[in-house]
Amino acid sequence: MQFTIDLYSDTKTQPTAAMRRVIAEAVAGDEQHLECPIVAELTTRTATLLGQEAAIFLPSGTMANGIAVLVQCRPGDELIVHHTAHHLNFEAGSAAGLAGTMVRPIDGAAGQFDAATLAAAIRPEKRHLPRSRMVSIEQTTNIGGGTVWPLERIEAVANVAHERGLVVHLDGARLMNAVVASSVDAGRFGALCDTVSLDFTKGLGCPFGAVLAGSAATIDQAWRWKQRLGGSMRQAGMFAAACIHALDHHVERLADDHANARLLAHLLGAIDGLRVMPVETNMVFVDVADTGLTADEFNARLAEFGIRMSIQGGTVLRAVTHLGVDRDAIETTAAAIDEIVRR
Ligand SMILES: *Cc1c(COP(=O)(O)O)cnc(C)c1O
């Protein structure tokens, strides 16, 4: 089913006309043989952007997270994440299934944990314990509500991890949303971590692609895994060109998505029976419990208006703004929701 207003996720964007032209006109080489200048430009540029030495172009953020774990962890090692983390909930068990790594969930408000909670979770060096090896931070948090980790909190968490001999991965699927919301450069977040991923298919609006950045030695090993997993590509410059276009044209405009999310939260907040969580970036979480409807029932009614959100649990829905959703769409959505609640 096609939705006229699709707030399910920022993955639901279509490439713009300008991006399609860039893709069509790209003269790409064989990236697997390092013969593609466009992929080379993208990886050089993103390594610098993310505060790292080197980067590798990959089909998806899931592969970027998976390869980060494969490179850094040994079977039986432990990866520490927030309990809402993508690694744990949405990667088909990649860390365990591919790397033999145990994923240990820890708690904290809004998808984030603090240095003290991490310190308490890291296991001492004992022969009979799993080795705590890696911690992963989601910037912005996804199921945590689209919140932005403050730089100081990442710094404190990374310091604890590094003191105890762990490496830090920044799952930056939506890192540029955090950059635009906080005015902190991506490289300042990235330089605190050992590996950083960035997704081009979320708010950046590309049909394909992610990068993983790290030290030259780490990215060398990542290449072996990319090859092994079948992630090595051929004329991938066609997609890399779209990613470069997105870095040039789709970053600053994330501020519009954030403004639209705030507007939606504001309009929904005025409707009796809805509880709206605070908005920091492009996600709006709304609890419809007081309407007497489940999230499923609520979404079915929205579908009658050609609108879709995603379901996050019994009575909670999530709306994500993106370049396919303008201010009019937000107002139309709020009016539809008002009507559903009043009925
Ligand atoms: C979407 C997402 C990913 C990776 O997703 P792909 O769809 O595989 O690109 C990783 N982490 C987070 C937090 C995400 O939201």
41: Cβ contacts below 8 Å, ≥ 6 apart:
240, 244
For ligand 1, atom 5: residue with the closest CA: 61
DSSP labels for 129-184?
SPPEEEEEEESS-TTTTS----HHHHHHHHHHHHHTT-EEEEEETTHHHHHHHH--
138 lines ligand 1 (CB under 6 A): yes
Which pLDDT belongs to residue 1?
60
Residue 270 CA to ligand 1 center (angstroms) comes to 32
User: Minimal CA–CA distance to 10: which of 337, 328, 320, 254?
Assistant: 320
Pairing assessment for the beta strands 167-172 and 132-138 based on DSSP bridges: parallel
For ligand 1, atom 14: residue with the closest CA: 173
Lookup result for tokens 């404190």: 156
Q: What is the distance between the alpha carbons of residues 9 and 336, in angstroms, rounded to a whole number?
A: 19
Residue 62 CA to ligand 1 center (angstroms) comes to 6
Which pLDDT belongs to residue 313?
87
Which pLDDT belongs to residue 343?
87
Which pLDDT belongs to residue 333?
98
50 lines ligand 1 (CB under 6 A): no
210 lines ligand 1 (CB under 6 A): yes
User: Minimal CA–CA distance to 85: which of 172, 208, 193?
Assistant: 172
201 lines ligand 1 (CB under 6 A): yes
Q: What is the distance between the alpha carbons of residues 302 and 296, in angstroms, rounded to a whole number?
A: 10
Residue 157 CA to ligand 1 center (angstroms) comes to 22
For ligand 1, atom 3: residue with the closest CA: 61
For ligand 1, atom 9: residue with the closest CA: 61
How confident is the chain (343 residues) per 10-residue block, as mean pLDDT?
90 97 96 96 98 98 98 98 97 97 98 98 96 98 97 98 98 98 98 98 98 98 98 96 98 98 98 96 97 96 97 96 97 97 92
Which pLDDT belongs to residue 267?
98
Q: What is the distance between the alpha carbons of residues 158 and 61, in angstroms, rounded to a whole number?
A: 21
User: Minimal CA–CA distance to 137: which of 160, 184, 319?
Assistant: 160
Mutation pick for ligand 1 pocket among 171, 177, 198, 312 (CB with most ligand atoms within 8 Å) = 171
pTM value?
0.97
Residue 201 CA to ligand 1 center (angstroms) comes to 9
65 lines ligand 1 (CB under 6 A): yes
46 lines ligand 1 (CB under 6 A): no
Mutation pick for ligand 1 pocket among 13, 62, 174 (CB with most ligand atoms within 8 Å) = 62
